[in-house]
Amino acid sequence: MTLISTVTIIVVLSVARDVLMPITLAILLSFVLAPLVHLLRRAWLGRVPAVLVAVLLALSVILGAGGLIGAQVASLAGDIPLYASTIRQKVEIVQGATTGRLSALVDRMASQIDRGNHPATAGRPASNGRASGSAPGATVPIDATPPMAVEVHPAPASASELAQRVLAPILQPLATTGIVFVVAIFILLRQADLRDRLIRLLGTDDLHRTMMAMDEAGHRLSRYFVTLLALNTAFGCIIGVGLSLIGVPNPVLWGFVTMLMRFVPYIGAWLSAFLPLALAAAVDPGWSMVVWTAALFVVGEGLMGQVVEPLAYGSSTGLSPLSVVIAAIFWGWLWGPVGLILSMPLTLCLVIVGRHVDRLKFLDVLLGDERALTPVESFYNGLLAGHLGEVQDDAEKLLKSCSLATYYDTVAIPGLRLANVDLERNVLTDAQKLRIAGGMGELLDALSDHEDIDPLPAPKEVGPAGPFSGPPAWATSVPEAPEHPKTAEPADPEGLQPAWREPSAVFCVAGRGPFDEFASAMLAQLLGRQGLGAHVLPNTAVSTRAAVAALDTAGARLICLAYAGAAGTSSQLRYTVRRLRARAPTAIILVGFWPTDLPAEERMRNAVGADLYTVSLSDTVAACMARARDAAPASHG
């Protein structure tokens, strides 16, 4: 059914292009004119006069630009014969420097090969032009009578045929333009009604959410199209002024062509440079005008694409580069040059609709630039597949906007929890378990030198935000950490007892899960950043009475039991806490469930009997540092 629906939609788009193309242009025009209509209404006009004034202004601009471009094209057509000789000379120069030399080289090689194959005929004089087998002195008769020229004169065209030839190319664009503006007027007049009907079609289960999504999508699309049109118009003006200063004829025409072609993603600006370069080569006998024209397009497009657009749109427009290319090919195939120009706006509309409508979410996944997987899923997938480089690269990117403890809390530990879930389902092979363990070890080693501090906030972007501005995608898809300090304040070594800085001051004991040892290693790493002495113990060190009895707890000030996955039964954990309390009666016992379903673990808390309970790694670090600071004044008496 999905395949049939897709094919049906494509067939309808192709067959009904003459109907759908003006409607699409009208919808996009309404997005562009909507801010102007709102501005006129806010000033002094009602809805109908504001819409009519905005449409008349747009129509005047389009007709004026069309008349100016027509005059430029007529002027260029009249001057083309003057440029033919210059073009011919430069083509001959280029051919002589490239294909001419290659042809001469091929001729010399062929001559050498022919001499090698026929050495006996080398140096033999050429024949005197007699025909083969003719007697000496005989002549060949030649018919010198010229052929008679025949001329065909077409029948004179009738008035209807002449009118059809002249008016047909003009009437169709005028009719399309009229349809576009009429439909745009009705869209602007019935904007609220159309929005309500779309809300009804998309779903009224959550009316407030759907309405807010539609309003936000319409506002962002309108703002984006206005910004895109302004930037492309500015770029076309820059090209026109630059070509005028360089001396290229008809600069207004090439500025307008550049503005239109720049709607084509990636290659539009470079395609628009072809005709001005050819004209510069035809006008200037030398090559300086061509060089200056090429430099104008290279510098202008570089500044516009790398400096101006990021400031105007933000870091991203919301479309993946591959989807932009595929969309340009698809719409160009369906609707020709107009579809090529409309490909990016149409794709943006589809992505925004998919982002706000659950039933069309696949459009956002296929065409958008957001991550297909959440950071937690990417983390676990990278460990599972053994792609450690990708895991470390993602970690470095995320650590630019969060602290190490926050990264462990929101990405690494939830990733280990996914591994524990798959392990309980018995779907992990031995090789995958080894890859996960090896990858975690390498990741912790790579992050051992990273400071556990919050990075400075990034400077705010300047200029109007793009249609997809807002917090990064990963910040909204990562599980929220509990409301505790992100990181403990850096410890003051002078404020801690030397006993708290000893390696045996804090025992980081792994839980019963096979990957809990890495969670306890993260805790030990973060505590070491704060100046506390900490070392990691496996769960086997506390799993039995004999193992606890053999444990050296002489220097232990605090014992942390870390559970990244399931904590097991409350009786097992209670017996472990009792053994540790009996073995180290002066030590503080902390139990951490990271992360966990807090209501489900409330009964276990009451049954365990530990001194402290934490629900995140950051909370555990803060609790350990608070106990260490509280103990320091008392120790000094």
More reliable by pLDDT, 241 or 165? 241
Do 618 and 584 reside in the same domain of the chain? yes
**Do residues 445 and 392 lie in contact, with contact meaning Cβ atoms separated by under 8 Å?**
no
Query: 449, 467, 485: which is the final residue of a domain?
Result: 467
Do 433 and 516 reside in the same domain of the chain? no
Q: Does 572 score more than 80 pLDDT? A: no
List the CATH number of the domain containing 610: 3.40.50.280
Q: Does 131 score more than 80 pLDDT? A: no
Cross-strand pairs, 537: 509
Nearest Cα residue to 520 out of 500, 540, 545? 540
- 0.75 surpassed by pTM: no
Q: Does 361 score more than 70 pLDDT? A: yes
What's the pLDDT at 295? Answer: 92
Do 88 and 14 reside in the same domain of the chain? yes
The chain-wide mean pLDDT, for the chain, equals: 77
N- to C-terminal Cα separation, the chain: 79
Would you give the DSSP letter of residue 412?
I
Q: Is residue 84 part of a domain?
A: yes
Q: Is residue 332 part of a domain?
A: no
Do 406 and 508 reside in the same domain of the chain? no
* Residue 461 confidence class, pLDDT cut points 50, 70, 90: very low
Do 414 and 510 reside in the same domain of the chain? no
Query: 144, 161, 189: which is the final residue of a domain?
Result: 189
Cα gap 29→176, rounded to integer Å = 13
Structural domain boundaries enclosing 8: 1-96+172-189
Share of the chain above pLDDT 90, in %: 4
What's the pLDDT at 476? Answer: 39
Cα gap 467→469, rounded to integer Å = 6
Do 457 and 558 reside in the same domain of the chain? no
Do 437 and 499 reside in the same domain of the chain? no
Cα gap 636→439, rounded to integer Å = 44
Q: Does 8 score more than 60 pLDDT? A: yes
pLDDT digits (tens, 9 = 90+) for 26-78: 988 888 888 888 888 888 788 888 889 999 998 888 888 888 887 888 777 77
Cα gap 426→414, rounded to integer Å = 19
Q: Is residue 236 part of a domain?
A: no
Please identify which residue in the block is written with the tokens 């309390």: 581
What's the pLDDT at 482? Answer: 41
Q: Does 595 score more than 70 pLDDT? A: no
* Residue 485 confidence class, pLDDT cut points 50, 70, 90: very low
Q: Does 635 score more than 50 pLDDT? A: no
Cα gap 189→4, rounded to integer Å = 36
Query: 433, 467, 501: which is the final residue of a domain?
Result: 467
What's the count of helices (H) and strands (E) in the chain, helices before strands? 25, 5
For the record, the structure tokens of 168 come out as 């047909």
Do 534 and 394 reside in the same domain of the chain? no
Nearest Cα residue to 564 out of 522, 621, 625, 610? 522
612-614 β-sheet, strand order: 534-537, 506-510, 558-563, 588-593, 612-614
Residue 585: C-alpha distances to residues 51, 308, 545, 574 (Å): 81, 66, 15, 15
**Do residues 616 and 563 lie in contact, with contact meaning Cβ atoms separated by under 8 Å?**
no
Tell me what the mean pLDDT of segment 568-585 comes to.
Answer: 80
Q: Total structural domains in the chain?
A: 3
Do 502 and 463 reside in the same domain of the chain? no
More reliable by pLDDT, 545 or 370? 545
* Residue 469 confidence class, pLDDT cut points 50, 70, 90: very low
More reliable by pLDDT, 134 or 12? 12
Do 578 and 442 reside in the same domain of the chain? no
Do 72 and 176 reside in the same domain of the chain? yes
Q: Is residue 259 part of a domain?
A: no
Tell me what the mean pLDDT of segment 462-483 comes to.
Answer: 41
Torsion of CA 338, 344, 346, 348, to 10 degrees: -170
What's the pLDDT at 350? Answer: 82
Q: Does 138 score more than 60 pLDDT? A: no
Q: Which amino acid is at 151?
A: E
Nearest Cα residue to 357 out of 466, 196, 215, 214? 214
Residue 596: left if φ>0, alpha if ψ -120 to 50, beta else—which one?
Answer: beta
Tell me what the mean pLDDT of segment 368-386 comes to.
Answer: 83
Q: Is residue 75 part of a domain?
A: yes
What's the pLDDT at 282? Answer: 81
Q: Is residue 601 part of a domain?
A: yes
Do 446 and 504 reside in the same domain of the chain? no
**Do residues 335 and 17 lie in contact, with contact meaning Cβ atoms separated by under 8 Å?**
yes
Q: Does 428 score more than 60 pLDDT? A: yes
pLDDT digits (tens, 9 = 90+) for 145-159: 666 666 666 666 666
Q: Is residue 356 part of a domain?
A: no
Contacts of residue 636, Cβ cutoff 8 Å, sequence gap at least 6: none
Q: Is residue 477 part of a domain?
A: no
More reliable by pLDDT, 271 or 451? 271
What's the pLDDT at 239? Answer: 92
What's the pLDDT at 65? Answer: 83
Q: Which of 241-245, 414-418, 570-574, 610-614 has the highest mean pLDDT?
A: 241-245
Q: Does 208 score more than 80 pLDDT? A: no
Handedness of CA 87, 93, 96, 97 (dihedral sign): negative
